[in-house]
Amino acid sequence: MAPRRAVLVALVCAFLAGPAAVRPAPPPPRAADYVLVLMLDGARPDVLRRIQAPVIQRLAASGVTYLQAHTCYPSQTRVAFVSLPTGANPGSHGIMGGDDYKDSAWQTVPYGNDDPIAAQALVARGTMFEDAAAAGLTSLYAAVKGYELVGARGATWTINGKKTLDPEIYKYRYQPAVDGSADKAAQQKLQLSRQLVDQTLALLREKKPNLVVVNLSAADYTAHAFGPSSPYYPKAIGYLDSLVGELLQAVDQLGIRQRTAVIVSADHGFSDVDNRRLVAAATDPSSDQGHKLTMLAARGIEHYVTNTGGASMGVYIRDKSRVPEAVATLRDEPWTEAVYCEDEKAHCDRSLSSLHALFPGRSPELMVDLDDDSSLNFPNAGQHGSLRPIDMYIPLVLSGAGVGQARVLGKAELVDIAPTVLRLLGVEAKRMHPDGRVLDEALLH
């Protein structure tokens, strides 16, 4: 009986010890000591493949390229640059697009244009920066527009381009002409990315952060001003390719290239639009009369419009019982391509929840994609934000430490980047709860 009693005592002790007796799973092995995430704001993958972009094309040839990578909806910078570090869709992290949103009390809540750091409290998911910091790693988030830093919670260092770049150039960033010259306007858009890279290089050389995220905006500003079919657009992407080369050269000079993984992607694609038809024209932004849809106003439907990229808009309806009427009214407009909502009585094209764009209390009642015969708020030649493939497809290239070689793969999502970054760095995702997955098929095993 003694041996049986001893076994029984051992089993009871193990049961009483509970979870504390279970050895925690070891963190994943570290494949890279450094990861560079280089975002080419507004760069379409089809254009990137056609032009001379030798640096990125070499990275693709030696690494892994995804041909069917998608961003999140709405396909807008503000949304994507929170989905990127959280690995979460907007319906999970709560940043829905536009400059602000209407809360349940019909109060306007800003999304961080003036103070992106304060707006980080609105982000409902943890970030890869927080998990990296908890593992003792450092990070840098360099943002040309500033509001991308809403998703930078936990980053060791940040660069807010809205405050650090040349203000005389910055104020003309969306303009198709400066001093009457389109060439000068195009050149200035390149200079903003040039300046941001110079600031990034200074911190990279001094601090040598383990994780770097940089948003290079020249292609985005160029496509808005001139349209993605303009010859200025591929030239802007080609220029960004040269800046990527400079960043990699700095990594070489630091002697860390063999231990560095590089990811090249974008936040959204781009549509050519007819900017002669302007929907909800922007007036004085401080005026209550700006950004109004006249057809809704004529019916007495109180509403609020947010610009989610220029090819899409969010529409808040104060009286929820009038959502079906608002949908029917908007469907009669020649510029309405699709309407998305949750109200079953409205018979929308798709639900917001199916688009991973439903966050209770912040999501608009309607998301409306515009046809390409119109431009929202501002008469830009290029816009984005819609669910059209040309707006949703993004480039995605992985190369370097821990990444497979010479492979072309199919589907991936923007939200897959953050969990893949943490896997490469050997960091367990504890604060971050991503909707995306680790791109295991792209990594060395």
Q: What is the pLDDT of residues 123-158, one digit of tens each?
A: 999 999 999 999 999 999 999 999 999 999 999 999
Please give the Cα distance from 395 to 48 (Å, whole number): 8
* Distance (Å) of CA 202 to CA 169, 199, 205: 21, 5, 5
**3-state SS class at 157:** strand
Predicted confidence at residue 276, as pLDDT, reads 85
Mean pLDDT of 381-396: 97
The mean predicted confidence, pLDDT, of the chain is 93
Q: What is the pLDDT of residues 168-210, one digit of tens each?
A: 999 999 999 999 999 999 999 999 999 999 999 999 999 999 9
Predicted confidence at residue 16, as pLDDT, reads 38
Provide the token pair at 361.
Answer: 């209390």
Domains and CATH numbers, the chain: 34-271+386-442 (3.40.720.10), 278-379 (3.30.1360)
Predicted confidence at residue 375, as pLDDT, reads 87
- Predicted TM-score of the model (pTM): 0.92
Which range (21-30, 108-117, 218-227, 276-285) has the least confidence? 21-30
Cis peptide preceding 74, ω within 30 of 0: yes
Q: What is the pLDDT of residues 11-67, one digit of tens each?
A: 334 433 444 445 555 667 899 999 999 999 999 999 999 999 999 999 999 999 999
Predicted confidence at residue 128, as pLDDT, reads 98
3-state secondary structure 12-71: HHHHHHHHHHCCCCCCCCCCCCEEEEEEECCCCHHHHHHCCCHHHHHHHHHCEEEEEEEC
Please give the Cα distance from 267 to 6 (Å, whole number): 62
Please give the Cα distance from 425 to 437 (Å, whole number): 15
Q: What is the pLDDT of residues 271-321, one digit of tens each?
A: 999 888 889 887 654 444 457 899 999 999 999 999 999 999 999 999 999
